[in-house]
């Protein structure tokens, strides 16, 4: 017969780790019926007929949260054969509160004291036998992380379950309460099983409404409860709670020996610095700066360069064999091409037609016309043309100049482009392989264009940033797992409180650094409706993983990987949240006192490599999957609408993208973005496609500007992108895409959480208008300061800036309160 | 027949593309109907595990 064992315990007690260890891959995940709380069940390893059910992490069996109700209903209705109660050995006093309630259910309980490795390391001692005696149940020491004691705990639970004996709680309350409980028990209907009568009696004494729903008929016990309350001078729930804690305190005194009562733990010592009143924020700023700098600008860039130039580019030399020789040959060839370009430029300047010779000398030209070159050389010799070549460094500055004679030109014209395959082991990139494959089967040019210039260019541009994202995700996973992220919410509480929010509102934003959707969902923990709506509206200002390619693109391609660009994107998000919070809290819609903020700070610990890598891979894989689905569909659509248009009254494939349908639409909407500095159709279209998925901005760039332009991060790209972006307009573009309405999926989450069309559109409108105004101010005021440019948009930006400051610094008036005297 | 012989490469590539696109679209619709989260990632390392979606 199948045995059911329930795994119950506080959040952060190690329940999931224990569950994973006991069930391995034999687990399945579903939903508790009727609610969106995840249900995990698994077969216990080594026991064929035993099912382990992981209950939601709860602090008690009170009826206040969904998790508590779900856990309690399961225990009362499903009646598992045993409960494996996991308690955190480093926090015994708080964890035992739930234990005392579980022991009243009549179900056999095994208490597994977890984190014994930490307890022993601290030099503390738990007297397990004494604890078992005091609690009246079996107690086992375990360390779920290290894997010690877990089999024994499971075996004990199975043995108890097989005995099928109901358990009676040994804990008794004071005599007055016991008297009341006995009276209530006597009034319970017969349908309540014997082993659960005490539990129901206690719950009725506490006036638990959820329990009343399960009783038919509901006994009238109000007079019993009221009498006890009057005699003990406290409300019933507090009476029970206080008695439980008194019992727990007595247990702790007998069963727990701390090595040094006043000794600070390592976590406490670290927190003295990390959450210090003055140091906390600078430390936080430095940490996030390092995270983004390393991910995007240094380590991430090295890996992304290989992905863009190698995998999605021309290819790469395996293990760099032959790379150095090829680089030398390539540099020599580039020098020859520079001489050719310089000589042709000089010839053109003196009036010689260079069109034919330019085409003849173009390496891509098939069957070059040698006679065009000969004719040009004769003409140049007669005119005595001399050119001047300029060599540029990586920053685009002239490093060297030298003269180019006709002899130099003739020598350079003979130079052949080196084939990387002739040096070492060359692995061709995906585009080259795909192109060869398509050409070999005579694929139609338009289909080849769709695949190479649409799908590969678009999806490849996005996937090129996977390495940077993986590095970022490793950092975020580390910060989450070690416990520092929890401190950030605590740190931000001090700032948030100054403008009427609490640190609770920052937790969704922390979660939003991965993806905005769970970030928006996390706002459910905020009880105050106004604060919750404001949190939903501002959560997506924090750059999510999908926005990282945009940050990396702007930082790499348009700012030459300047160290400050990527971290500044994160802080722009934080600033937007703080500024929005201050402005909105001063409006009647959102005014009110901040909610209290109580949060458990878990102890610091080194995260396991497995956990960090798993978290990194999960997030990274979801990004890659999205690239292969949503982004792929988007790139196909964008390629079609950009490569097809109406030419001479006919709808057909266009030669120039500027004639395509997308360009027509883009030119129509582009003027909207002119005040922001990027009123060009490609940039405007890219921003709009970002609504489908933020990565699309980069994918669209890849298609409309060409993948090579997007992948390069040298000054060469300015040749094309400079027509659309200056440094200032690029930063304005970045700010707009960071702050404007999020992707459709996140908008869906906002709509669900707001549960009101009016509030949904208000949120989207606020984010978009805020992004527009901030970007406009960045560009216009930046142009005023750097170039002295002044126009209508500058005036509007200055007015907007003044308005921002006014809204920020105007005095806060609490919402009107209705006060009325009531005689009791 | 001549058309098929001359364009079999394009037809093959086109068919593969259609199948891929079709399956992506159907999968997205199916996920949407099942209420699966569009954040796309697994839950075990997410702070919203068990609270976010089915």
Q: Does A514 touch chain B (CB under 8 A)?
A: yes
The CATH number covering residue A58 comes to 3.40.50.300
Tell me which residue in B13, B28, B46 faces A447 most closely, judged by beta carbons: B13
The Cα–Cα gap between A594 and A501 comes to 5
Do A156 and A199 have their domain in common?
no
Q: What is the CA radius of gyration of chain A?
A: 34
Which among A220, A239, A257 is the end of a domain? A257
Reported as a single tens digit per residue, the pLDDT across A550-580 is 888 888 777 877 888 888 998 999 899 989 9
Q: Is residue A459 assigned to a domain?
A: no
**A515, A610, A691: best to mutate for the B interface, most B CBs within 10 A:** A515
Burial B16-54 (b: 16+ CB within 10 A, else e): eeeebeeebeeeeeeeeeeeebbbbbbbebbbbbbbbbe
Tokens of A30: 């579903």
Q: Does residue A805 register a pLDDT over 70?
A: yes
Mean pLDDT, residues A469-493 taken together: 83
Do A187 and A153 have their domain in common?
no
Tokens of A418: 């080196």
Do A145 and A183 have their domain in common?
no
* Interchain CB contacts (distance < 8 Å): A and B: 102
Percent of chain A with pLDDT over 90: 24
The Cα–Cα gap between A86 and A99 comes to 9
Q: Does A600 touch chain B (CB under 8 A)?
A: no
Q: Is residue A478 assigned to a domain?
A: yes
Do A656 and A778 have their domain in common?
yes
Please answer yes or no on whether A36 and B45 come within 8 Å at the CB atom. no
Least CA distance to A544: which residue of chain B?
B39
Tokens of A384: 């005595």
Q: Does B5 touch chain A (CB under 8 A)?
A: no
Element of type H or E holding A229 = helix A222-232
Q: Per the structure, how many domains does chain A have?
A: 4
pTM: 0.68
DSSP B44: T
The Cα–Cα gap between A90 and A252 comes to 12
Residue indicated by tokens 């021309």: A314
Q: Is residue A824 assigned to a domain?
A: no
Q: What is the CA radius of gyration of chain B?
A: 19
CA dist list (Å): A225 to A176, A178, A240, A350: 11, 12, 12, 106
Q: Is residue A94 assigned to a domain?
A: yes
Please answer yes or no on whether A515 and B41 come within 8 Å at the CB atom. yes
Tell me which residue in B40, B46, B51 faces A625 most closely, judged by beta carbons: B40
**pLDDT band at A824, cuts 50/70/90?**
very low
Do A650 and A709 have their domain in common?
yes
Please answer yes or no on whether B46 and A442 come within 8 Å at the CB atom. no
Do A409 and A472 have their domain in common?
no
Q: Does residue A371 register a pLDDT over 50?
A: yes
Mapping DSSP to helix (H, G, I), strand (E, B) and coil, where does residue A1 land?
Answer: coil
What is the 3-state secondary structure of A739-805? Answer: HCCCCHHHHHHHHHHHCCHHHHHHHHHHHHHHHHHHHHHHHHHHHHHHHCCCCHHHHHHHHHHHHHH
Q: Is residue A287 assigned to a domain?
A: no
Q: Look at residue A657 in the predicted model and tell me its pLDDT.
A: 82
Mean pLDDT, residues A786-791 taken together: 89
* Domain carrying residue A9: 3-163
Which among A198, A223, A257 is the end of a domain? A257
Please answer yes or no on whether A511 and B47 come within 8 Å at the CB atom. yes
Do A485 and A512 have their domain in common?
yes
Q: Does A16 touch chain B (CB under 8 A)?
A: yes
Do A222 and A122 have their domain in common?
no
Do A689 and A725 have their domain in common?
yes
The Cα–Cα gap between A637 and A660 comes to 13
Q: Does residue A501 register a pLDDT over 80?
A: no
**pLDDT band at A34, cuts 50/70/90?**
very low
Strand partners, A196: none
Q: Look at residue A766 in the predicted model and tell me its pLDDT.
A: 95
Tell me if A330 sits within 8 A of A315, measured CB to CB. Answer: no
Q: Does B26 touch chain A (CB under 8 A)?
A: no
Q: Does residue A609 register a pLDDT over 60?
A: yes
Do A548 and A609 have their domain in common?
yes
Q: Look at residue A109 in the predicted model and tell me its pLDDT.
A: 94
Q: Look at residue B54 in the predicted model and tell me its pLDDT.
A: 43
Do A594 and A708 have their domain in common?
yes
Reported as a single tens digit per residue, the pLDDT across A259-298 is 766 666 778 888 888 888 888 889 988 998 888 888 877 7
Q: Does A517 touch chain B (CB under 8 A)?
A: yes
Q: Look at residue B22 in the predicted model and tell me its pLDDT.
A: 93
Tell me if A563 sits within 8 A of A520, measured CB to CB. Answer: no
Q: Which residues of A sit in the known binding site? A: 9-16, 20-21, 23-24, 34-38, 54-57, 114-117
Least CA distance to B42: which residue of chain A?
A618
Q: Is residue A532 assigned to a domain?
A: yes
Please answer yes or no on whether B50 and A37 come within 8 Å at the CB atom. yes
Which among A163, A187, A221 is the end of a domain? A163
Please answer yes or no on whether A37 and B21 come within 8 Å at the CB atom. no
**B48, B49, B54: best to mutate for the A interface, most A CBs within 10 A:** B48
Q: Is residue A274 assigned to a domain?
A: no
Q: Look at residue A716 in the predicted model and tell me its pLDDT.
A: 46
Tell me if A315 sits within 8 A of A433, measured CB to CB. Answer: no
Task: Give A523's Cβ-side CA count (13 Å radius).
Answer: 28
Tell me if A161 sits within 8 A of A174, measured CB to CB. Answer: no
Q: Is residue A447 assigned to a domain?
A: no
Please answer yes or no on whether B47 and A442 come within 8 Å at the CB atom. no
Do A63 and A205 have their domain in common?
no
CA dist list (Å): A47 to A5, A17, A30, A70, A642: 12, 19, 22, 26, 61
**pLDDT band at A769, cuts 50/70/90?**
very high
The CATH number covering residue A234 comes to 1.10.287.1770
Please answer yes or no on whether B27 and A629 come within 8 Å at the CB atom. yes
**pLDDT band at A36, cuts 50/70/90?**
very low
What ipTM score was computed for the predicted complex, to two decimals?
Answer: 0.83
Reported as a single tens digit per residue, the pLDDT across B2-54 is 878 888 889 999 999 999 999 999 988 888 787 665 555 555 555 555 555 54
Q: Look at residue A252 in the predicted model and tell me its pLDDT.
A: 87
């Amino acid at each position: 017969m199948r045995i059911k064992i329930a795994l119950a315990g506080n959040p952060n007690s190690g329940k999931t780790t224990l569950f994973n260890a006991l069930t391995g891959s034999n687990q399945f995940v579903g939903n508790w019926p009727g609610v969106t709380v995840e249900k995990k069940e698994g077969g216990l390893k080594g026991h064929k007929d035993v099912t382990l059910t992981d209950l939601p992490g709860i602090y008690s069996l009170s009826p206040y949260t969904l998790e508590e109700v779900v856990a309690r209903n399961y225990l009362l209705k499903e009646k598992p054969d045993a409960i494996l109660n996991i308690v955190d050995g480093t926090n015994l006093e708080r964890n035992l509160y739930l234990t005392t309630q579980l022991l009243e259910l009549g179900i056999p309980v095994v208490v597994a004291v977890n984190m014994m490795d930490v307890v022993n390391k601290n030099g503390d001692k738990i007297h397990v036998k004494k604890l078992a005696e005091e609690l009246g149940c079996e107690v086992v020491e375990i360390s779920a992380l290290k894997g010690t004691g877990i089999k024994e705990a499971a075996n004990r639970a199975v043995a108890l379950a097989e005995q099928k004996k109901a358990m009676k709680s040994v804990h008794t309350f004071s005599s007055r309460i016991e008297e009341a409980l006995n009276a209530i028990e006597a009034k319970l209907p017969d349908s309540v099983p014997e082993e659960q009568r005490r539990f129901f009696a206690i719950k009725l004494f506490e006036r638990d409404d959820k329990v009343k729903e399960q009783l038919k008929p509901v006994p009238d016990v109000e007079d019993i409860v009221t009498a006890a309350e009057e005699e003990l001078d406290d409300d019933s729930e507090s009476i029970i709670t206080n008695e439980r804690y008194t019992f727990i305190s007595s247990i702790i005194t007998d069963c727990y020996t701390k090595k040094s009562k006043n000794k600070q733990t390592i976590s406490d010592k670290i927190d003295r610095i990390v959450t210090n009143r003055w140091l906390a924020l600078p430390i936080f700023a430095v940490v996030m700066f390092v995270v983004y700098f390393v991910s995007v600008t240094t380590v991430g860039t090295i890996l992304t360069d290989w992905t863009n130039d190698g995998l999605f580019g021309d290819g790469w030399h395996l293990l760099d064999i032959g790379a150095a020789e090829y680089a030398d040959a390539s540099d020599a060839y580039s020098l020859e091409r520079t001489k050719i370009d310089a000589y042709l430029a000089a010839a053109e300047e003196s009036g010689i037609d260079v069109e034919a010779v330019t085409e003849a000398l173009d390496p891509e030209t098939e069957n070059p016309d040698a006679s065009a070159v000969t004719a040009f050389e004769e003409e140049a010799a007669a005119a005595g043309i001399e050119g001047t070549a300029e060599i540029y460094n990586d920053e685009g500055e002239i490093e060297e100049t030298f003269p180019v004679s006709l002899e130099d030109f003739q020598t350079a014209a003979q130079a052949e482009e080196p084939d990387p395959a002739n040096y070492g082991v060359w692995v061709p990139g995906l585009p080259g392989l795909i192109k060869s494959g398509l050409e070999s089967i005579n694929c139609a040019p338009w289909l080849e264009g769709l695949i190479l210039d649409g799908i590969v260019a678009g999806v490849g541009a996005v996937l090129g940033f996977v390495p940077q994202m993986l590095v970022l995700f490793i950092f975020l996973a580390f910060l989450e797992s070690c416990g520092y992220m929890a401190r950030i919410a605590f740190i931000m509480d001090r700032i948030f409180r100054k403008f009427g929010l609490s640190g609770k509102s920052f937790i969704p934003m922390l979660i939003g650094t991965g993806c905005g959707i769970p970030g928006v969902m996390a706002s459910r923990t905020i009880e105050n409706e106004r604060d919750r709506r404001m949190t939903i509206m501002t959560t997506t200002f924090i750059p999510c993983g999908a926005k990282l390619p945009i940050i990396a693109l702007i930082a790499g391609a348009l700012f030459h990987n300047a160290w400050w660009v990527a971290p500044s994107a994160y802080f722009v998000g934080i600033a937007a949240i703080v500024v929005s919070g201050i402005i909105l809290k001063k409006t009647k819609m959102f005014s009110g006192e901040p909610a209290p903020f109580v949060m458990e700070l878990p102890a610091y610990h080194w995260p396991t490599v497995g956990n960090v890598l798993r978290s990194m891979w999960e997030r990274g894989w979801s990004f890659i999957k999205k690239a292969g689905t949503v982004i792929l569909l988007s790139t196909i659509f964008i390629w079609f609408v950009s490569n097809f248009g109406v030419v001479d009254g006919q709808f057909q494939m266009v030669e120039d993208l500027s004639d395509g349908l997308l360009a027509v639409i883009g030119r129509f909407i582009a003027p909207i973005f002119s005040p922001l500095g990027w009123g060009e159709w490609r940039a405007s279209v890219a921003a709009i496609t970002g609504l489908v998925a933020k990565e699309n901005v980069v994918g669209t760039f890849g298609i409309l500007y060409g993948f090579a332009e997007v992948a390069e991060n040298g000054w060469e790209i300015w040749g094309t992108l400079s027509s659309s972006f200056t440094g200032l307009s690029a930063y304005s573009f970045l700010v707009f895409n960071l702050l404007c309405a999020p992707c459709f999926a996140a908008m869906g989450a906002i709509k669900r959480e707001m549960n009101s069309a009016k509030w949904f559109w208000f949120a989207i409108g606020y984010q978009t208008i805020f992004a527009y105004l901030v970007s406009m101010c960045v560009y216009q005021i930046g142009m005023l300061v750097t170039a002295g440019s002044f126009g209508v948009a500058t005036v509007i930006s200055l007015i907007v800036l003044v308005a921002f400051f006014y809204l920020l610094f105007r005095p806060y008036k609490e919402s009107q309160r209705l006060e009325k005297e009531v005689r009791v | 027949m001549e058309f098929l012989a001359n364009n079999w490469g394009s037809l093959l590539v086109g068919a593969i593309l259609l199948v891929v696109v079709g399956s992506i679209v159907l999968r997205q619709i199916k996920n949407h109907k099942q209420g699966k989260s569009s954040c796309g990632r697994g839950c075990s390392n997410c702070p919203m595990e068990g609270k976010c979606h089915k």
